[in-house]
């Protein structure tokens, strides 16, 4: 038996033991004979027509649930019934129980499928009745802490969606009772909080378990759903189960499956689940980490995480940084730092330079920092989409000649369009000669520098005055985890310096202790560094580096295979783990190639296994493949290659 199967069996056994324990406790507390839930009561309360499909669903589901309830209250002894309604003499083994449970639900699904194929005339009514069945049964069984998650799949089946579950639904706790006698009491009892955490974790784990089979792009044509979701703030609270159902059954599926293995669009992240543990700890303990004095030990953990990033990027010991919500805010803080260092109050005369392929957040950051669009120069790129240093030099000399003050060059370590890496060494040379600040936007590509064998792909990165890097990209963390490093920590502190408020404690020695508020604009903030610290501690740097290096290798293999397909022109081979191409054929016009490439992306994405996006650069539309999710492995990339080949052959005209 494979290790995964053994782990699953062990988890199932532990779950059943826990379920029986909770049922015994409920019985002891006088909540009734759980094995004798009267099924007729469900039918009377529903008041559904005897000929409706909803009633059939109810009866079949009820019979199955009754068997499950009997098992939970019997400690595993003789959980099934014979035709006369009496218990069988022989106890079922664990394997037999699961087999019968799955067989019963397979029969139910097959029955529903047959009925649906024969009679769709009352489908609208059937859908409404089925949802009523689901809600009514859940209400009936909430008292006994049972879960009828199977009914969710039935309702989805009736609505024409995917209806097969890959795992047996689990029991879940009811929502915690409201404290109507004391509305101001917002705390949650430990037992109720434990139940809520259990219910949420089961939903999350089931969701993660099905990620490989979820469509890479959900149905995002959700205007009607969005309108239906609009509502005033409720006066009374709702049960958690109902809210989890809304999130996991209605809202989350209507989105890009960014956490899935087939997400090759934009710049993937993935979202290591371990980071959620850090968020849970940070949000529930709710310690203030804005200043060092309030939580010195916790802030030190964040400082450790920043030091790890510093070391991986080969920055000097004097470097300092801060965690941000993403690359956009990191770029903004870098521009502010450069402005304060080189311009002071003369910001209107300052000029910044970036390539035509720079991320749009850099232009926004410049504007927010007081560097207006007429003072930002777009520098052309070469055939590999890299900044042309000769054009940069000419632009700087021209602006100096006109009495302006060049102060900042932003280069990119992995552009969003094609993954291009600017000539960082050459740009650093220009900045050193001209006395300019050199900022590298490495939101996508900087973490490849963490792998010693891949550092030649990013020569000169460690010479930057400041560096944006996104742990929610190259380190696979959840969205909302960005970072900025500044070569000289004193420059970062100077950019955010001001009169120290008298109500705050004294600042620590900056050479020994890290104070977050002294290095960024926020005073009240979350605890973003805990995500990075916990994940690195749990996985270890070696495993993270191996995952980063694997993405590079997968991209090289995929680019070679796709570039060899008939009718594919590889425009931008992978400099890191992103490449871009378009379809072509003899006699094709650029407009026809653009249209075919656009259609290729849509056809491949519509198949559900991978999601790809494109970009427009130099007047042409290109298909992009970016390999960066930790869940994207060789098997899924092979599927992507095969599907791109199949759909491109269908689109190309006969030769």
One-character DSSP codes across 347-385 = GGGEEEEEETTS-HHHHHHHHHTT--GGGEEEE-B-TTS
Cα separation, 481 vs 531, whole angstroms: 8
Task: Provide the pLDDT confidence category of residue 499 given band limits of 50, 70 and 90.
Answer: confident
Is the domain of 601 the same as that of 535?
no
Alpha helices in 509-588 (DSSP H): 529-539, 541-563
Cα separation, 578 vs 63, whole angstroms: 53
Element of type H or E holding 199: helix 190-209
Cα separation, 162 vs 253, whole angstroms: 11
User: How big is the CA angle at 393 (ends 390 and 398), to the nearest 5 degrees?
Assistant: 125
Q: Ramachandran region of residue 640, left (φ > 0), alpha (ψ -120 to 50) or beta?
A: alpha
Is the domain of 485 the same as that of 620?
no
Is the domain of 529 the same as that of 552?
no
Task: Provide the pLDDT confidence category of residue 568 given band limits of 50, 70 and 90.
Answer: very high
Is the domain of 135 the same as that of 45?
yes
Per-residue pLDDT tens for 233-286?
A: 999 999 999 999 999 999 999 999 999 999 999 999 889 999 999 999 999 999
CA 13 to chain centre: 31
Look up the CATH number of the domain holding residue 635. 3.90.1150.170
Domain count across the chain? 3
Closest of 160, 190, 159, 144 to residue 42, by C-alpha: 144
Is the domain of 536 the same as that of 577?
no
Cα separation, 349 vs 23, whole angstroms: 74
Structural domain contains residue 199: no
Report the DSSP beta bridge partners of residue 408.
Answer: 352, 437
pLDDT above 80 for 607 = yes
Is the domain of 548 the same as that of 535?
no
Q: Which residue has the tokens 């000669």?
A: 433
Q: What is the full DSSP assignment across 237-306?
A: ---HHHHHHIIIIIITTSSB-TTSTTB-SSS-----THHHHHHHHHHHH----SSGGGSHHHHHHHHHHH
Is the domain of 77 the same as that of 162?
yes
Q: Between 154 and 527, whose confidence is greater?
A: 527
Structural domain contains residue 21: yes
DSSP state of 159: T
Domain end marker among 171, 204, 221: 171
Is the domain of 474 the same as that of 583?
no
Residue 498: the pLDDT is 85
Domain end marker among 171, 199, 220: 171
Is the domain of 321 the same as that of 441?
yes
Per-residue pLDDT tens for 531-559?
A: 999 999 999 999 999 999 999 999 999 99
Structural domain contains residue 218: no
Per-residue pLDDT tens for 188-240?
A: 999 999 999 999 999 999 999 999 999 999 999 999 999 999 999 999 999 99
Structural domain contains residue 9: no
Q: Which residues contact 652 (CB under 8 A, 6 or more apart)?
A: 566, 567, 583, 585, 596
Backbone angles phi, psi at 44, to 5 degrees: -65, -40
Average pLDDT of the residues of the chain: 82
Evaluate whether 316 touches 462 at the Cβ level (below 8 Å).
no
3-state secondary structure 428-455: HHHHHHHCCEEEEECCCCHHHHHCHHHH
Give helix then strand counts, H and E, for the chain.
Answer: 21, 11
pLDDT above 60 for 358 = yes
Cα separation, 227 vs 231, whole angstroms: 9
Look up the CATH number of the domain holding residue 335. 3.40.640.10
Structural domain contains residue 4: no
Structural domain contains residue 418: yes
Residue 58: the pLDDT is 46
3-state secondary structure 409-428: EEEEECCCCCCCECCHHHHH
Task: Provide the pLDDT confidence category of residue 179 given band limits of 50, 70 and 90.
Answer: low
The crossing angle, in degrees rounded to 10, of helices 39-46 and 53-72 is 150
Residue 503: the pLDDT is 85
Per-residue pLDDT tens for 361-396?
A: 999 999 999 999 999 999 999 999 999 999 999 999
10: three-class secondary structure by DSSP: helix
Neighbouring CB atoms inside 10 A of 502's CB total 5
Domain end marker among 171, 192, 216: 171
Evaluate whether 622 touches 571 at the Cβ level (below 8 Å).
yes
Evaluate whether 438 touches 411 at the Cβ level (below 8 Å).
yes
* 613's tokens: 């996006």
Q: For the whole model, what pTM was predicted?
A: 0.75
pLDDT above 70 for 146 = no
Is the domain of 564 the same as that of 647?
yes
569: three-class secondary structure by DSSP: strand
Cα separation, 132 vs 155, whole angstroms: 10
Structural domain contains residue 267: no
Q: Which residue has the tokens 């989805």?
A: 156
Give the structural domain span for 346: 279-498+513-542
Is the domain of 338 the same as that of 485?
yes
Structural domain contains residue 188: no
Is the domain of 530 the same as that of 593?
no
């Amino acid at each position: 038996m494979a290790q995964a199967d053994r782990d699953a069996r062990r988890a199932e056994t532990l779950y059943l033991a826990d379920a029986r324990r909770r049922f015994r406790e409920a019985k002891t507390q006088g909540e009734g004979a759980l094995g004798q839930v009267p099924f007729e009561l469900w039918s009377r309360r529903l008041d559904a027509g005897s000929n409706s499909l909803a009633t059939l669903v109810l009866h079949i589901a009820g019979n199955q649930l009754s068997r499950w309830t009997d098992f939970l209250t019997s400690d595993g002894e003789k959980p099934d019934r014979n035709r006369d309604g009496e218990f069988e003499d022989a106890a079922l083994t664990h394997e037999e129980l699961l087999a019968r449970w799955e067989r019963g639900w397979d029969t139910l699904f097959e029955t529903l499928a047959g009925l649906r194929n024969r009679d769709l005339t009352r489908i609208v009514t059937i859908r409404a009745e089925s949802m009523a069945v689901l809600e009514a049964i859940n209400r009936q069984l909430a008292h006994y802490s049972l879960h009828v998650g199977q009914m969710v799949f039935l309702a989805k089946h009736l609505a024409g969606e995917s209806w097969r579950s890959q795992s047996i639904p689990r029991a879940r706790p009811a929502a915690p009772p409201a404290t109507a006698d004391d509305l101001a009491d917002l705390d949650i009892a430990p037992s109720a909080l434990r139940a809520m955490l259990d219910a949420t974790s089961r939903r999350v784990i089931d969701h993660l378990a099905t990620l490989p089979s979820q469509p890479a792009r959900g149905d995002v044509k959700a205007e009607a759903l969005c309108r239906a979701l609009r509502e005033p703030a409720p006066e009374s609270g709702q049960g958690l189960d109902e809210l989890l159902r809304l999130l996991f059954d209605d809202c989350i599926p209507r989105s890009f499956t960014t956490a899935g293995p087939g997400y090759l669009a934009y710049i993937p992240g993935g979202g290591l689940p371990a980071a959620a543990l850090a968020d849970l700890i940070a949000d529930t303990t709710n310690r203030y980490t804005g200043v060092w004095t309030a939580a010195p030990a916790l802030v030190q953990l964040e400082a450790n995480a920043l030091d790890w990033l510093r070391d991986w990027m080969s920055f000097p010991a004097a470097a300092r940084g801060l965690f941000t919500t993403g690359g956009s805010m990191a770029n903004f803080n870098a521009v502010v730092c450069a402005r304060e260092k080189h311009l002071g109050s003369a910001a209107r005369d300052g000029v910044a330079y970036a390539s035509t392929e720079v991320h749009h957040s850099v232009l926004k950051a410049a504007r927010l920092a007081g560097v207006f669009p007429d003072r930002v120069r777009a520098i052309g790129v070469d055939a590999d989409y890299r900044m042309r240093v000769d054009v940069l030099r000419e632009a700087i000399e021209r602006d100096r000649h006109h009495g302006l003050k060049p102060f900042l060059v932003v280069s990119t370590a992995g552009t969003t369009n094609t993954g291009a890496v600017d000539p960082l060494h050459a740009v650093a040379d220009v900045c050193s000669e001209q006395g300019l600040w050199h900022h590298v936007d490495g939101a996508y590509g900087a973490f490849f520098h963490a792998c010693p064998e891949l550092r030649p792909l990013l020569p000169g990165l460690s010479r930057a005055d400041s560096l944006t890097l996104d742990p929610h990209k190259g380190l696979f963390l959840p969205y909302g985890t960005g970072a900025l490093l500044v070569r000289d920590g004193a420059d970062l502190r100077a950019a955010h310096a001001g009169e120290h408020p008298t109500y705050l404690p004294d600042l620590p020695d900056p050479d020994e202790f890290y104070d977050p508020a002294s290095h960024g604009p926020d005073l009240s903030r979350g605890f973003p560094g805990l995500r990075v610290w916990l994940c690195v501690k749990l996985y270890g740097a070696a495993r993270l580096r191996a995952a980063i290096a694997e993405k590079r290798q997968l991209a090289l293999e995929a680019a070679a295979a796709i570039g060899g397909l008939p009718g594919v022109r590889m425009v931008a081979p992978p400099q890191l783990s992103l490449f871009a191409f378009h379809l072509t054929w003899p006699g094709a016009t650029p407009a026809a190639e653009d249209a075919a490439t656009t259609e290729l992306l849509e056809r491949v994405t519509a198949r559900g296994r991978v999601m790809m996006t494109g970009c427009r650069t130099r007047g042409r539309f290109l298909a992009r493949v970016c390999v960066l999710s930790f869940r994207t492995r060789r098997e899924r990339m092979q599927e992507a290659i095969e599907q791109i080949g199949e759909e491109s052959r269908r689109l190309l005209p006969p030769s």
